[in-house]
Amino acid sequence: MAAMVKIHKDKVLRELGFKLQLQIHDEVILEGPEELAEQAKNRLVEIMERPLDQPLLVKLEVDAKVAKNWFDAK
């Protein structure tokens, strides 16, 4: 939940032109310009690995992909 709020409010993602379109359980789908997708993916991974303002006791592993649709990202 905390990560979803951070994604929604994130200035970097917004400046890159990306918006959170869908969340299904622990998966999120963002939409934005194709040419900035890798930058947005890197930012998204940062947010998802550190969803809280304080460090977590365990490392969260995040799998992120860039694709034109959800099926291709699977």
Q: What is the pLDDT of residues 28-69, one digit of tens each?
A: 999 999 999 999 999 999 999 999 989 899 999 999 999 998
Residue 30, both tokens: 């963002």
When pLDDT is cut at 50, 70 and 90, the band that residue 74 belongs to is confident
- Amino acid present at 46: E
Q: At a CB cut-off of 8 Å and minimum separation 6, what does 62 contact?
A: 44, 45, 48, 49
- Closest to 50 in 3D by CA, of 42, 60, 41: 60
Domain boundaries, the chain: 2-73
Average pLDDT over residues 11-30: 94
